[in-house]
Amino acid sequence: NHLLPISVGEKQDKKAIWIDCGIHAREWISPAFCMWFVQNVSPISPEPNITHILNHMDVYVLPVMNPDGYKYTWTTNRMWRKNRSYSTDSSCVGVDLNRNFDANWCTEGASDKPCSEIYCGAFPESEPESEAVANFLRSHKDSVQLYLTIHSYSQMLLFPYSCTLDEAENHNELVSFAKIRRYYRNTYKYGAGGKTIYLAPGGSDDWAYNLGIKYSFTFELQDRGRYGFLLPPSHISKACNEALIAVKTIALRVIEKT
């Protein structure tokens, strides 16, 4: 299936923000957030912060980065995570797209076994989905100032590095950005991915960061595990609203800094 990115605001080759959702098929709140974001960040929106962001930034949104896997969760297996690519030397299907980028690829925290949920693929960017996103970011690396990739669940705001336990060179700045206030009684944990959640090499955020996009974040949206990936529809608006506030806050801070 095709990757269908959306460009928000009149494209004037300004600085840019990239947001991708749905890299992991079962994390349904993620594509929901991207669509919520696009509907709330429309150029006709009177909200002054939105107008300010769109005056300074082109916004690129990819609501479903893993369309084959997402479709598979609707038709066959709700708990599928990976894409649906076939492996030459195994009957198992799918690569974990968030282990397929060229950042300490396939080291500890990923697996070289095609049947693993964190299978890194045959080589970096072996998958059409990660290759397409990497190509776009490579060709826009001078304008993209902020990279956001939306996942669920566990309510965390993570930043590089997850591929090692090293600190990013602007670590303290990233901490200050990630210290988002409490929203709707829900608090988000924040920190460098490797230390805050687990070692996860080959991630899109680390790769974007190493490309030169120094503001790079992975969101883990609601909840903390009560429903997990199966967040009920009644929780969508609250989960998306609090994430939207965080994204707007970070975007405004990046505009100040760049």
Return the active site residues. 220
Pairing of strands 57-62, 6-8: antiparallel
Distance CA 221, CA 52 (A): 25
The correct pick among 218, 231, 242, 254 for binding ligand DDK (CB under 6 A) is 218
Chosen from Zn ion, ligand DDK, none, partner binding at 218 (C-beta under 5 to 8 Å by type) = ligand DDK
At 171 the three-state DSSP class reads helix
Cα–Cα distance, 116 to 25 (Å, whole number):
15
Give the residue, chosen from 192, 193, 214, 240, that forms a contact with ligand DDK under the rule CB under 6 A: 193
Whole-angstrom distance, CA of residue 29 vs CA of residue 156 = 14
Instruction: Tell me: does residue 203 bind ligand DDK (CB under 6 A).
Output: yes
Nearest approach, Cβ of 42 to ligand DDK (angstroms)? 28
Q: Which does 31 bind (CB under 5 to 8 A by kind): Zn ion, ligand DDK, none?
A: none
Q: Of 12-20, 35-43, 84-92, 193-201, which segment contacts ligand DDK by CB under 6 A?
A: 193-201
Which tokens sit at 158?
């993570």
Contact call for residue 148 and ligand DDK (CB under 6 A): no
The binder of 197, among ligand DDK, Zn ion, none, by C-beta within 5 to 8 A per type, is: ligand DDK
Does position 151 interact with ligand DDK (CB under 6 A)? The reply is yes
For 111, residues 6+ apart whose C-beta sits below 8 A from its C-beta are 99, 118, 119, 120
The CB-of-37 to ligand DDK minimum distance in angstroms stands at 18
Task: Mark the segment that binds ligand DDK (CB under 6 A) among 10-18, 52-60, 196-204, 246-254.
Answer: 196-204
Residue closer to Zn ion by CB (options 58, 220) is 220
Q: Does 68 contact ligand DDK by CB under 6 A?
A: no
Residues 225-254 that bind ligand DDK (CB under 6 A): none
The H or E element spanning position 103 is: none
Token code pair at residue 66 = 């893993």
104 binds, among Zn ion, ligand DDK, none (CB under 5 to 8 A by kind): none
Which residue has 């090499």 as its token pair? 201
Alpha-carbon span 221 to 242, nearest angstrom: 9
Which of residues 25, 62, 120, 200 is near ligand DDK by CB under 6 A?
200
Counting contacts by CB under 6 A, is residue 66 touching ligand DDK?
no
User: CA torsion sign, 157 to 61 to 116 to 135?
Assistant: negative
Q: What is the DSSP string of 124-141?
A: TT-SHHHHHHHHHHHHTT
Q: At 181, list the tokens.
A: 């206030």
Q: Which residues bind ligand DDK (CB under 6 A)?
A: 24, 98, 151, 158, 162, 193, 197, 200, 203, 205-206, 218
